[in-house]
Structure 1
Amino acid sequence: MAMDTDKNVDQASLIEELEQFRKEKERIRRLVGQIGGKHSQKHDNIVNIIFIIAMVVLFALDLLRHIFHIHVPLPQMFSIELAVLLVSIKIIWMIHRGTKVEHFQFWVLNSIEFRLNDVAKRLREIDKKLSGGS
């Protein structure tokens, strides 16, 4: 009878641990989605396309001005200044994205360390019970 109770307790603790694992897995899935999921990839592609189009338009306007001597309604240095500004914004945006990824990696490694410490603690407790019980 005592053996059946131990099996039920072990089974209940395993079910509880499985539920905790599922909750944590779902939480990680949501975080990954916020940091770099499919939505983020689409957003990155749109931003990259906008930057490329802006740079090509500025380059084309400068070509029209210098090669074909077509009057462009922009000051002469404006396109260069705007291009430098756009590139600076893109670099700052890339640094920001990299920081988010590094933070996520730190969080994952911290979670793994926490789990390893928990497993090591449980292992020491089991070892104490086995050596004390023999």
Structure 2
Amino acid sequence: MKQNIQARSGNRVVITYDGNTIGAMKSVRMNDDYAPEGVSGIGDIHMIEYVPTVARHTLTCQQVVLKKSSMRMAGIAFENGDAALQGLVFDVEVFDKDDGTLLKKYMGVSYASGDVEISANAIVISSGQFNALDTAGTSI
């Protein structure tokens, strides 16, 4: 018998703070933008190169689930502007579900914005947007 697994599916996304896993994300959209700026010569309208100017790593997620507390109690989502000034950061790691390989990691992640939806006969849903200082991993 031969096992035919050629595509990754059902990966695990975890939130780590101070080296400890404190939660997970139900879904995450990861965006890496290097803000390329076009370079041309004087008197020439044709681009000769696109130079990266700043690395922006953005994570957008739905339903962040923490093990023992809410996002606000853990300091991941801020209660108010004063809490935002504390500068707390964490990491987000994506692992292969089958063999546990680390596929992608975002370091120095901080909360940017988010919302909470409360509706009848449904669970409370939190979504958020986060910014990361750096990223590593080539498997995704």
Structure richer in strand, relative to its length:
2
Q: Which of the five TM-score ranges fits, normalised by the shorter chain? A: under 0.3
Give the structure-1-normalised TM-score: 0.24
Higher-Rg structure is: 1
Q: Could you tell me the TM-score, scaled by structure 2's length?
A: 0.23
Q: Judging by fraction of residues, say which structure has more helix.
A: 1
